Amino acid sequence: MNTETSGLAGKHAVVTGGGSGIGAATAEALVRAGARVTLMGRDAARLAAQRDALNALSLSGTAGDIACIAVDVTQEVAVAAAFEQAGSVDILINNAGQAQAAPFAQTDIALWQRMLDVNLTGVFLCTRAVLPGMLERGYGRIVNVASTAGQTGYAYVAAYCAAKHGVIGLTRALALEVATKGVTVNAVCPGYTETELLRASLDQITSKTSRSEEEARRILLRNNPQQRFVAPEEVANAALWLCMPGSAAITGQSISVSGGEVT
């Protein structure tokens, strides 16, 4: 059996925001590497559909290799209950997130808090749920899906940028705290990726500026050296690498997956 299909055999991974986009692609990569995966997210129907698709890839082919648990990662009590149900976790992919644009002067406290809650507090709550068990066993992999917005600034998404900068700060601090405990903590930072979030960004540009979708795409790609959007599978491959046995020396890093936009 090769490394692609056995490197994570016996490991249990939880992927938040696992019903679509980067989360779904990462869950598939983990399954292909032999992991047992639990999908978490708010949309139970979407999670169930993704679970059914992933069960077809399961190494053993038995029901239960892929599980799904509906949960809002911003709710402390609900998160604790979800991870209690999930059981022991070896790998955590903190992928759940949301982006919403607004000029700073029009960013009200509700928008500000919503961006912090889903993009930063959710990472905190889920990590807090799994860390004690990882420390007890002396093994764990935590990968936070941040964004190039956490490495640089973008206009009109101040709240989102602040939250993603916070994710990278949390990643670095926690990595140092657990560096000798067998637990690694890293972040992957996608640029604009072909997901529903990108679709929403394109729709917002076209609706507010009367530009065509092609023009909107050019606007978003103007600072990308490769002049293309990232595929979810490319982000998933970076996350998977950070979970594999050979990545034990990699911790506290924020790895840009952005076609060279951030170096």
Could you list the active site residues? 160
CA distance 156 to 112: 12
Find how far residue 179's CA is from the centre of its chain: 21
Q: Cα(203)–Cα(212) distance, rounded to whole angstroms?
A: 10
Burial 154-169 (b: 16+ CB within 10 A, else e): eeebbbbbbbbbbbbe
**Measured distance CA(20)–CA(64) in Å, rounded:** 20
Q: How far apart are CA 142 and CA 226, in angstroms?
A: 29
Q: Which ranges constitute the DSSP H helices of the chain?
A: 3-6, 21-32, 44-55, 76-86, 109-116, 122-137, 158-177, 196-209, 213-221, 232-243
Structure tokens at 6: 């056995």
Tokens 């644009």 correspond to what residue? 101
